Structure 1
Amino acid sequence: MKYVLTSRDAALEALYRVEVRSSYADLALEGILKGSDLDPRDRRLATELTFGCIRWRKRIDYILSKFLKGEVARLDPYTRNILRLGAYQVFFLDRIPDYAAISEAVKQSKKFGSKGCSSLVNGVLRSMAERSSDIVFPDGKHQPVEHISTFYSHPRWLVDRWVKRYGVEETQRLCEANNSIPPLSIRANLLKTTREELSEKLQQENVSSQPGRLSSSSLSIVIRDDLASLEGYRKGLFQVQDESSVLVSDILEPRPGETIVDLCSGPGGKTTHIAELMEDEGLVIAVDIRRSRLKFVLDNAGRLGLNIIVGVVADGQFFGARSADRILVDAPCSGLGVLRRRADLRWRMSEKEIVNLSRLQLALLLSAADSVRAGGILVYSTCTIEPEENELVVSRFLELRGDYRLEDAGGFVASSLVDEEGYYRTLPHKQGLDGAFAARLVKAGK
Structure 2
Amino acid sequence: MNPRKEALNILFEVFINNKFSNKLLNNLIKKEAMSKEDIAFIFKLVYGTIQYKIYLEYVVNKVINQDKTDFKIQILLWMNLYQIKFLRSKPYYVINEAVEIAKEINVNLSGLVNKVSKLLVNENLWEVDIKNSQNVFPLENGFPFWLFKKIEKEYSKDSAIDFVKQSNQESKISLRLNTLKIDQQEFESKYLDKYNLTKSGLVDYFYLTDKNIVSEEIFKNGFVTIQDQTSGFASYILNPKKDTKVLDMCSAPGGKLTHLAQIMNNTGKIDAYEIQENKIRLIEENILRLGIKNVNLKCLDALEIEEKKYNYILLDAPCSGYGVIRQKPEIKLKKRSEKEENDLLILQEKLLEKAYKCLESESELLYSTCTINKKENEDQVERFLTKHDDLEKVYERVFFGKEFDNDGFYICKMKKL
Q: Deviations over 1:120-178 (max 9, x none)?
A: 1111110111x223433146xx7343212311111121112123234444422220111
CA distance in structure 2 between the partners assigned to 1:208 and 1:247 by the alignment: 22
The answer to whether the 8 Å contact 1:181/1:341 transfers is no
The answer to whether the 8 Å contact 1:254/1:278 transfers is yes
| Secondary structure of 1:388's aligned partner | coil
2:80 matched to which residue of 1?
Answer: 86
CA distance in structure 1 between the partners assigned to 2:405 and 2:19 by the alignment: 28
Matched, 1:386 2:378: no
2:246 matched to which residue of 1?
Answer: 260
Letter of the 1:425 counterpart: V
Matched, 1:217 2:212: no
The answer to whether the 8 Å contact 2:201/2:404 transfers is no
Matched, 1:24 2:20: yes
Q: 1:100 aligns with which of 93, 100, 110?
A: 93
Matched, 1:442 2:399: no
The answer to whether the 8 Å contact 1:336/1:435 transfers is yes
Greater shift, 398-407 or 256-265, is seen at 398-407
| Secondary structure of 1:286's aligned partner | strand
Q: 1:111 aligns with which of 104, 122, 125?
A: 104
Q: CA deviation at 1:426?
A: 1.3
CA RMSD of aligned residues (A): 1.8
The answer to whether the 8 Å contact 1:82/1:105 transfers is yes
Aligned residues: 416
Distance 1:248 1:167, change over 3 A: closer
Matched, 1:158 2:147: yes
1:59 matched to which residue of 2?
Answer: 55
The structure 1 segments of at least 4 consecutive aligned residues displaced by more than 6 Å after TM superposition are: none
Long gaps (5+) in structure 2: none
Q: CA deviation at 1:431?
A: 4.2
1:235 matched to which residue of 2?
Answer: 221
CA distance in structure 1 between the partners assigned to 2:141 and 2:118 by the alignment: 24
CA distance in structure 1 between the partners assigned to 2:292 and 2:125 by the alignment: 59
2:115 matched to which residue of 1?
Answer: 123
Q: Deviations over 1:288-312 (max 9, x none)?
A: 1011212211210110111111111
Q: 1:9 aligns with which of 5, 13, 29?
A: 5
The answer to whether the 8 Å contact 1:184/1:240 transfers is yes
Q: CA deviation at 1:400?
A: 2.2
Q: CA deviation at 1:442?
A: 1.3
Q: CA deviation at 1:316?
A: 1.0
Letter of the 1:118 counterpart: S
CA distance in structure 1 between the partners assigned to 2:37 and 2:190 by the alignment: 24
Distance 1:395 1:166, change over 3 A: closer
Question: With structure 2 as the length reference, what TM-score do the two structures score?
Answer: 0.95
Matched, 1:185 2:158: no
Q: Deviations over 1:263-317 (max 9, x none)?
A: 0000011000000000001111110101121221121011011111111111112
Q: How does 1:140-179 map to 2 (within 5 A)?
A: 143-179=132-168
Q: CA deviation at 1:97?
A: 0.8
Q: CA deviation at 1:381?
A: 0.5
Letter of the 1:243 counterpart: Q
1:367 matched to which residue of 2?
Answer: 354
The answer to whether the 8 Å contact 1:236/1:304 transfers is yes
CA distance in structure 1 between the partners assigned to 2:407 and 2:10 by the alignment: 25
Question: With structure 1 as the length reference, what TM-score do the two structures score?
Answer: 0.89
CA distance in structure 1 between the partners assigned to 2:229 and 2:171 by the alignment: 12
The answer to whether the 8 Å contact 1:289/1:315 transfers is yes
Matched, 1:402 2:411: no
The answer to whether the 8 Å contact 2:152/2:160 transfers is yes
Q: 1:136 aligns with which of 98, 111, 127?
A: 127
Q: CA deviation at 1:332?
A: 0.9
CA distance in structure 2 between the partners assigned to 1:212 and 1:144 by the alignment: 38
1:278 matched to which residue of 2?
Answer: 264
Aligned-residue sequence identity (percent) comes to 26
| Secondary structure of 2:10's aligned partner | helix
2:297 matched to which residue of 1?
Answer: 311
Q: CA deviation at 1:380?
A: 0.5
| Secondary structure of 2:364's aligned partner | strand
The answer to whether the 8 Å contact 1:195/1:219 transfers is no
Letter of the 2:78 counterpart: R
1:413 matched to which residue of 2?
Answer: none
The answer to whether the 8 Å contact 2:246/2:313 transfers is yes
Distance 1:248 1:222, change over 3 A: same
CA distance in structure 2 between the partners assigned to 1:101 and 1:198 by the alignment: 44
Q: CA deviation at 1:63?
A: 1.2
Q: CA deviation at 1:320?
A: 2.0
Higher RCO (C-alpha 8 Å, min separation 6): 2
CA distance in structure 1 between the partners assigned to 2:185 and 2:116 by the alignment: 53
The answer to whether the 8 Å contact 1:6/1:38 transfers is no
Letter of the 1:60 counterpart: L
| Secondary structure of 1:389's aligned partner | coil
Matched, 1:302 2:288: yes
1:49 matched to which residue of 2?
Answer: 45
The answer to whether the 8 Å contact 1:263/1:330 transfers is yes
CA distance in structure 2 between the partners assigned to 1:145 and 1:355 by the alignment: 28
CA distance in structure 2 between the partners assigned to 1:170 and 1:157 by the alignment: 15
| Secondary structure of 2:175's aligned partner | strand
Q: CA deviation at 1:430?
A: 4.1
| Secondary structure of 2:365's aligned partner | strand
| Secondary structure of 1:58's aligned partner | helix
CA distance in structure 1 between the partners assigned to 2:244 and 2:85 by the alignment: 55
CA distance in structure 2 between the partners assigned to 1:136 and 1:333 by the alignment: 35
Q: Deviations over 1:186-229 (max 9, x none)?
A: 0101122234433343357x421101112011000121x4x321
2:345 matched to which residue of 1?
Answer: 358
Q: How does 1:404-443 map to 2 (within 5 A)?
A: 404-407=391-394, 409=395, 423-443=396-416
Letter of the 1:424 counterpart: R
